Amino acid sequence: MADELLAQLRSVLAAHPLGADAIATNDRSPEQVQECGETILRVRRHGKREELRVVSDEFCGKRFATVRVWFRDPEDRDAYLPTGRGVTVRRRELPAVPAALHEIASRLGVDVGERSQTESGKGSSPA
């Protein structure tokens, strides 16, 4: 059964324009995984080992937002790589997100009137 599924997967990949490259892997260089859109917010997590990034992006003419955790590349201390922990928010979904986040902040007792000291805007890292 497993051999049959593997054979089917190989035939599907062979027909795909990208072939085996259609499978996402984590062994890509930082140049291959850098975000293409505009980083709106970076929040450091766990010291300087991780960042939470909010990015305005576009793919195949479709615009969207991503919220993803990035981690420091162990081989290049100045580079960060994306983790699988994150979410893509489609353009049509965006209007509902701010109200939901404000509601959550209110329930948690967080004042969202001013930006936190741990936040930064427009692609810069916090000091």
DSSP-derived pairing of the beta strands 38-45 and 50-59: antiparallel
Q: For every one of its 127 residues, what pLDDT tens digit does the chain have, with 9 covering 90 and above?
A: 666 766 666 666 666 544 444 444 444 444 445 557 899 999 998 888 899 999 999 988 899 999 999 999 888 888 889 888 899 999 999 999 999 999 999 999 998 876 554 445 544 444 3
Closest CA to 70 of 87, 91, 85: 85
Take residue 35 and report the two structure tokens written for it. Answer: 């975000």
Closest CA to 70 of 118, 33, 108: 33
pLDDT at position 4 is: 72
Annotated domain spans of the chain: 28-110
Q: Please tell us whether the domain made up of 28-110 is placed in CATH 2.30.31.10.
A: yes
pLDDT at position 103 is: 93
Phi-psi domain of 20 (left: phi exceeds 0; alpha: psi -120 through 50; beta: other): alpha
pLDDT at position 44 is: 92
Neighbours of 55 (CB within 10 A): 22
Report residue 15: phi and psi, to 5°: -85, -20
Take residue 40 and report the two structure tokens written for it. Answer: 């709106």
Closest CA to 125 of 45, 58, 67, 57: 45
Element (H, E) at 2: helix 2-15
Instruction: Return the DSSP state at 49.
Output: T
